[in-house]
Amino acid sequence: MTATLISLMSILIGIIGGNATGMFFSKYSFGFIGNTILGVFGSAFLIKSIGRLGFGPEDIVHSGVVDLKLFLLNMFVSFIGGALLVVCVRSFKNKIDKG
C-alpha cells in the first residue's frame, strides 16, 4: 500500500465522517454535496496539521509494511476532521445569521 492510496482512503473516510454527521445530526447538515466538500477539506486539514506528529501517510508505510495502529489512527483522525468541520461551519453560519 502506498502513501498516495492511504491519503485517498483518508479523504474517503473524511467524506464519510462529514456525511454521517449530517445524517445523524440533521441540524448540522449542508446536504450531500456540502457535507462531502466539508468532509474532504476537514479531513485533509486535520491530517496535514496533526499528522506531523507521526501518523501521516508517509509514516504509516515508512518501513515498507503498513503499520496497522498508525493506519487506524489516521482513519480515525480523518473521520473526526470531516465531522468537526461540518459542525464548525454550521455553528459559524448560525452566528452570522443571528448577527
Q: Where does residue 99 rank: exposed (0-12), middle (13-18), buried (19+ CB within 10 A)?
A: exposed
Q: Which three cell numbers stand for residue 4?
A: 498516495
Mean of pLDDT values over 27-42:
95
Q: What percent of the chain has pLDDT over 70?
A: 100
Predicted pLDDT of residue 55: 79
Residue 23: pLDDT over 80:
yes
Does this model's pTM top 0.85? My answer is yes
- What is the rounded distance in angstroms from the CA atom of residue 90 to the CA atom of residue 9? 25
